[in-house]
Amino acid sequence: MLSVTSSLHQSRDGTPILVLRVEGDITLSSLPRLTDALNRESGKADAPFVLLDLDAVDVIDDAGLGALMGFAARMRAARRDVAVVASMPRVRERLADTRFDKAVDMVSSLGDAERLVR
């Protein structure tokens, strides 16, 4: 079962970072739940930086990648920066193989994301 939870953090310089933790499989069958949850959770805080934590994701299919790209595009259109936390090798490889990492910044941890905060 897919779930998305949010938490608000601050960078060292005080910039708010909204962390959206995704757990479960990101597949065609979970897209409605994923999209609704990402939209709901991202609306809970007006942080200028959104970090998608995919460390608890087991599978990402092509439809799931498309949904994540769409979410990143919506956040950018709202003038919010986006990055992905992916420390698990299988997820990092999937994102690299599909060149997702060329469109959205990837980091290995929340601490690493601090260097991206503008």
53 three-state secondary structure: strand
On whether the pTM is more than 0.75, the answer is: yes
How far apart CA 45 and CA 40 sit, in angstroms, is 10
Per residue in 64-112, pLDDT (tens digit) is 999 999 999 999 999 999 999 999 999 999 999 999 999 999 999 888 8
Domains annotated for the chain, with CATH where assigned, are 3-110 (3.30.750.24)
Q: What is the DSSP letter of 108?
A: S
